[in-house]
Amino acid sequence: MNAGEFLDKKLIERILAKIREEAKYLGNVTLMEVCGSHTQAVERFGIRGILPKNVRLVSGPGCPVCITPTGVVDAAIKIADKGAIITTFGDVMRLPGSAGTLEEAKAMGADVRVVYSIADAVEIARRNEASGTDVVHIAIGFETTAPTTASVLLASPPSNFYIVNAHRWFPPAMEALLRGGEVRIDGFIDPGHVATVIGSDAFMFLSKKYGVAQVVSGFEPGDILLSVLVLLRMIRMGETGVVNEYERAVKKNGNAKSISALKKVFGKEHAEWRGLGKIPNSGMKLKGKFGRFDATKKFGVKVASSSGMPSGCSCSAVLRGKISPQKCPLFGKKCTPQKPVGPCMVSVEGACYNAYIA
Ligand code: SF4
């Protein structure tokens, strides 16, 4: 089917009827979507509300801005204080650090600029190379955005270009949730965009090790509902493995060019996820000669270890699927998209932001 067919109302009603039928044979089931774009689509189309009562669909840590540690913001502010130009994506500007945001640092005189892509940051570096002003891009995100960073570093950017590297490998976070066992996850709606890069087979180890059902899903309402239906069937039949519902974009082995760029530039290291703590082998470590682009080394600044949230913020529980955003006492009161307290309300992919605007 093509993407348009997944918007078809009759098809959606047919899938929903099958979901209701399937749910009759099951006890309480918890499914988790682990992609910020899925969170957006689920809220936008009101999918949580139309599922049977015994099927709980929760959001996981799929919003890259939300899981970027406080220490990354703090390090960027310290580097800006040393005279570098900081570039970043819009959402990151309002991400709370331990002593404020980049937006606040900018108001106090730091040179912080919003860019739409890392290529814009490279261009700023090029324009400032002669003057000797360093440009530091805050590189965040998963396998979806990291190939672009890798391509830029492979293409020999200007000598005054650096990154604060906060890229993360995503599957280890899914494993951490399963290993932690705080919330029983019966099935994952795997991240469609990440799967486009690394392929559906990259998630298979989770099913083999933890017996969890998984579906790689597209982003239309019909895609997501069909994925829920497939998961419920797998759970009822006691099947594990990865079903690729998003075949129109995702291949078993992913995108060879992107994977090659990732492997050339990044290795693995243990890394902090805000709200989740340190996750083994989840950090994209700059390999060998690419270490020269590491802004923290160049400026002698440490990214402090801290996965904490602002006082009163329940984002850590939200990111683990333990509570819905509405259960946070600050939701919609002290914490709104206009005045966000925690990272899940800052980002357009955050669970709290999307629950609020839905
Ligand atoms: S509503 Fe705000 S304070 Fe509460 S968990 Fe979400 S981001 Fe944190």
Residues 55 and 141 in one domain: no
Predicted confidence at residue 303, as pLDDT, reads 87
pLDDT above 60: residue 254? yes
Instruction: Answer whether residue 115 is part of any domain.
Output: yes
Mean pLDDT across 192-207: 97
The answer to whether residue 318 is domain-embedded is: no
For helices 146-154 and 256-265, angle between their N-to-C axes, nearest 10 degrees: 70
CB atoms within 10 A of CB 135: 27
Give the pLDDT band (50/70/90) at residue 37: very high
Looking at residue 5, its pLDDT comes to: 60
* 111 and 157 housed in the same domain: yes
Question: What sign results for the dihedral spanned by CA atoms 167, 274, 202, 5?
Answer: negative
Higher pLDDT, 49 or 1: 49
pLDDT confidence of residue 210? 96
From the list 130, 41, 62, the residue with the least C-alpha distance to 276 is 62
- CB of 164 within 6 A of ligand 1: the answer is no
Residues 118 and 33 in one domain: no
Does residue 305 fall inside a structural domain? no
Encode pLDDT of 151-170 as tens digits: 999 999 999 999 999 999 99
Q: State whether the beta carbon of 315 lies less than 6 angstroms from ligand 1.
A: yes
pLDDT tens-digit readout, 71-116 = 999 999 999 999 999 999 999 999 989 889 999 999 999 999 999 9
Q: Check whether residue 56 and residue 70 sit in a common domain.
A: no
Confidence category of residue 1, pLDDT binned at 50, 70, 90: low
Residue 6 has pLDDT above 70, yes or no: no
Residues 178 and 80 in one domain: no
Residue 8 above 80 pLDDT?
A: no
**Position 314 in a domain:** no
CATH of the domain at 91: 3.40.50.11740
Judged against a pLDDT cut of 80, whether residue 3 lies above it is answered with no
Cα–Cα distance measured from residue 290 to residue 270, given in angstroms and rounded to the nearest whole number: 18
The answer to the question of residue 311 being in a domain is no
The rounded percent of the chain whose pLDDT value lies above 90 is 90
Task: Verify that 114 and 207 share a domain, yes or no.
Answer: no
Query: DSSP character for 33?
Result: E
pLDDT at position 358: 87
Q: Which domain holds residue 123?
A: 66-168+254-299
How many angstroms from the chain centroid is the CA of residue 52? 27
Q: At 199, which CATH number?
A: 3.40.50.11750
325 lines ligand 1 (CB under 6 A): yes
- Pocket mutation for ligand 1, best pick of 318, 339, 349 (most atoms within 8 Å of C-beta): 318
**Domain assignment present for 309:** no
Whether ligand 1 lies within 6 angstroms of the CB of 352 is answered as yes
Note whether 258 and 133 are same-domain residues: yes
Same-domain status, 279 and 164: yes
Whether the pLDDT of residue 7 is over 80: the answer is: no
112 lies in some domain: yes
Residue 278 lies in a domain: yes
- Closest ligand 1 atom, CA of 352? 6
At residue 164, the pLDDT reads 98
pLDDT of residue 82: 96
Q: How many domains does one find in the chain?
A: 3
